[in-house]
Structure 1
Amino acid sequence: MASVLIHAADESVTLTARAVQGLLERGDGDAALLYLALLRRHGAVAPRALAGELRWDRGRIEAAEQTLRELGLVAPAAESVPEPADERPEYPREDIVRHLDGDGEFRGLVAEVERKLGKKLTTPDLGVLLGLSDYLGLPADVIYLLVCHCAERVARRYGEGRRPTLRQIEREGYAWARRGIDTQAEAAEYLRRYALRQEALPGYMRALQLGDRAPSASEEKYLSAWQEMGFEPEAVAIAYDKTVLRCHEFKWPYCNGILKKWHEAGLHTAQEIREKDHPPRSREETPAASGGDEMWKYVQQLRRDREVTDHGV
């Protein structure tokens, strides 16, 4: 029995002949569905933001997006793991309900997170949690470690009783995904290293003459970056001295520039810096640049002539 195409009365979606030809030749059904979903949104959302609507995990939507990039139908993505503010998937309420009803592990995770945060999760909160699980592919035990880590960090910085928002947890979750932290062992190792860095922060603050106070969030980013580069507090103290000598006060960006220069030069310990980081020689010690060589030689000859005259030769 032959079928007849039914023309719906709602808004149309138009495909170009080139797009249709490319999709047919590739034979990738997921890429075609993703392209249709993008057209329905008039290209106003990033492809990966449609993961929730299509009920696809991260691997599936990334593969479809890659096909569309190869066909020239979407622009290349900047990163393999997007920032949540730009490309986080949106999950309809019915999908969240479906996961709560049919996925015991997700339901158990929600209960544990609510207990840890001391509040009932809203529908947007549940969407964030589902994105970490369904889209980023983080296991439930890793997500719970992530939540505990964020809760401890917020309490330490702002005092007991303060709790992180799901958006803060989501941002940290994307950071973990970019680092490849997707198992309990990897999460535990990351948290161990993080604790060691936290224990070392007071030493860096004292090296910067900032006393025993805790660093602010932006200050901690600088200190963590310097730790990851391999600088001990003693080396940071030398950068502090150079910063104050040059700027007459401490400035984080200027100090960071000094340390980045040393890092690029392979100088990390205080001993290496003292031995190998020497300021440029003065003009009296350094020959003039090309174009002034003859003048430099003339001045040097005048000095030698003066020395001969002074000695009465």
Structure 2
Amino acid sequence: MFIMSYIFNSAVLGSMFAVPSQVVDNYIKLASASQLKTLLWICRHISEPIDPAIISREIGYSVGDVEDALTVIASWGVLIGTDVTVSPAPAAVEEPKKEEPQKHFDDISASKPSSEQIMTRCKEDPEIPAMFADIEKMLGKTLGYDSRSILLMMHDHYGLPIEVIYMLVDYCKSVGKSGFSYISKVGKTWGEREIDTIEKADEQIKILNSCNRLWTDFAEMAGIQNPRPSSSQSAYLRTWSVELKFNAEMIYLAYEEMLNHTSKLSFPYMNKILMNWHSKGIKTPDDIEKEKEEYRRKKSPAAKSDASYDINEFIKRGEALPVYKKGS
């Protein structure tokens, strides 16, 4: 078997731009594709304003994904807010563990079946039109060509069984996002993670619902208006609740601690705080207070008395306190 080897094409060196070495050294294993593409765009357009809408259009990710990427890149020390004081780049922080997808699919919009192909599949498999009818009842609306294309591709292209698609659509409806753009995005994620059984789907929905409840409780405490977390925020919430076992109150306390250092909501910064607490065995608000008290005690130790006698002992014995005169 012949294996091609490669060397760098030095002919392309005529036009270059720099990428911060600290990103490659500390974050390349942790960075997602959207974060790296956003960073490369910024480095290539170093003198231009950073506009999430423009970046979104040029790198092929949603504005929300770009904004999430900018938050993470800022935590690397690469970006500086225009309303904050410049500070040294932070050390590498441990990012939430993310499952490596075993598969990667193209978006459905890039490979939709034709109307004729949909009709053919309906004739080949009577469960397909039955699925369309059931989901119409579930959502209370008639499915058009785009909706049917998405459902069919989720089944044929992403490999999701019909019963799993029912569970997926029902979950999306339960969180108030029954649009097929969102359903398609969730379907792609489930396909890549091979959530292809009722048991796997049930476990995934439990985790998603838990993260949504956690966000609701935390957002209410923090006065945040967003009804749902972004995809990257959900990844952090999953790590904090499932792996680190922190509840909404502890996450809110990490948020308050974050506000002592930055005025902008930063999940990467909160992650650093929570990871630190976890490593120290801090699990409750009482544990936090104990650590603060210990820190204050070490910073401000009680002054030791220089007196060579015990005043209380003199009083107890009814003796007069010694009087020292100048020059004696």
2:227 alignment partner, one of 194, 212, 215: 215
CA distance in 2, matches of 1:258, 1:96: 49
Give me the CA root mean square deviation.
3.9
2:283 counterpart letter in structure 1: T
1:231 counterpart letter in structure 2: F
Q: CA deviation at 1:176?
A: 2.0
Question: Residues 245, 233 of structure 1: CA spacing in aligned structure 2 closer, same or farther, 3 A cutoff?
Answer: same
Secondary structure, aligned partner of 1:137: coil
**Counterpart of 2:171?**
149
CA distance in 2, matches of 1:268, 1:172: 35
Secondary structure, aligned partner of 1:269: coil
For structure 2, the 5+ residue unaligned runs are 4-99, 299-328
**Counterpart of 2:204?**
190
Contact residue 254 and residue 273 of structure 2 kept, 8 A:
yes
CA distance in 2, matches of 1:85, 1:138: 15
Contact residue 267 and residue 273 of structure 1 kept, 8 A:
no
Q: CA deviation at 1:206?
A: 4.3
State yes or no: 1:243 paired with 2:258. Answer: yes
1:235 counterpart letter in structure 2: M
Q: How does 1:94-173 map to 2 (within 5 A)?
A: 94-154=116-176, 163-165=178-180, 167-173=181-187
CA distance in 2, matches of 1:264, 1:83: 36
**Counterpart of 2:44?**
none
* CA deviation map 1:9-53 (0-9, x unaligned): xxxxxxxxx99xxxxxxxxxxxxxxxxxxxxxxxxxxxxxxxxxx
Q: How does 1:1-313 map to 2 (within 5 A)?
A: 80-85=102-107, 89-154=111-176, 163-165=178-180, 167-207=181-221, 209-210=222-223, 215-218=227-230, 221=234, 223-229=237-243, 230-247=245-262, 249=263, 251-253=265-267, 255-259=269-273, 261-262=275-276, 265=279, 269-270=283-284
Aligned length, in residue pairs? 198
CA distance in 2, matches of 1:89, 1:223: 33
TM-score, structure 1 as length reference: 0.51
Contact residue 131 and residue 162 of structure 2 kept, 8 A:
yes
Q: CA deviation at 1:111?
A: 0.9
TM-score, structure 2 as length reference: 0.49
Contact residue 212 and residue 228 of structure 2 kept, 8 A:
no
Q: CA deviation at 1:231?
A: 1.9
Contact residue 102 and residue 194 of structure 2 kept, 8 A:
no
* CA deviation map 1:236-266 (0-9, x unaligned): 233122212122x352345434346438847
CA distance in 1, matches of 2:191, 2:276: 30
Question: Residues 267, 91 of structure 1: CA spacing in aligned structure 2 closer, same or farther, 3 A cutoff?
Answer: farther
Question: Residues 100, 226 of structure 1: CA spacing in aligned structure 2 closer, same or farther, 3 A cutoff?
Answer: same
- What's the % identity of the aligned pairs? 21
Structure having greater relative contact order (Cα 8 Å, sep ≥ 6): 2
Question: Residues 79, 188 of structure 1: CA spacing in aligned structure 2 closer, same or farther, 3 A cutoff?
Answer: closer
Q: CA deviation at 1:134?
A: 1.0
Contact residue 254 and residue 274 of structure 2 kept, 8 A:
no
Secondary structure, aligned partner of 2:246: coil
**Counterpart of 1:53?**
none
Q: CA deviation at 1:142?
A: 0.9
Q: CA deviation at 1:146?
A: 0.7
For structure 1, the 5+ residue unaligned runs are 1-17, 20-77, 156-162, 283-313
**Counterpart of 1:51?**
none
CA distance in 2, matches of 1:194, 1:272: 28
Question: Residues 79, 178 of structure 1: CA spacing in aligned structure 2 closer, same or farther, 3 A cutoff?
Answer: closer
**Counterpart of 2:23?**
none
Q: CA deviation at 1:123?
A: 2.3
Contact residue 164 and residue 201 of structure 2 kept, 8 A:
yes
* CA deviation map 1:48-74 (0-9, x unaligned): xxxxxxxxxxxxxxxxxxxxxxxxxxx
Moved more, 225-234 or 235-244: 225-234
Secondary structure, aligned partner of 1:226: helix
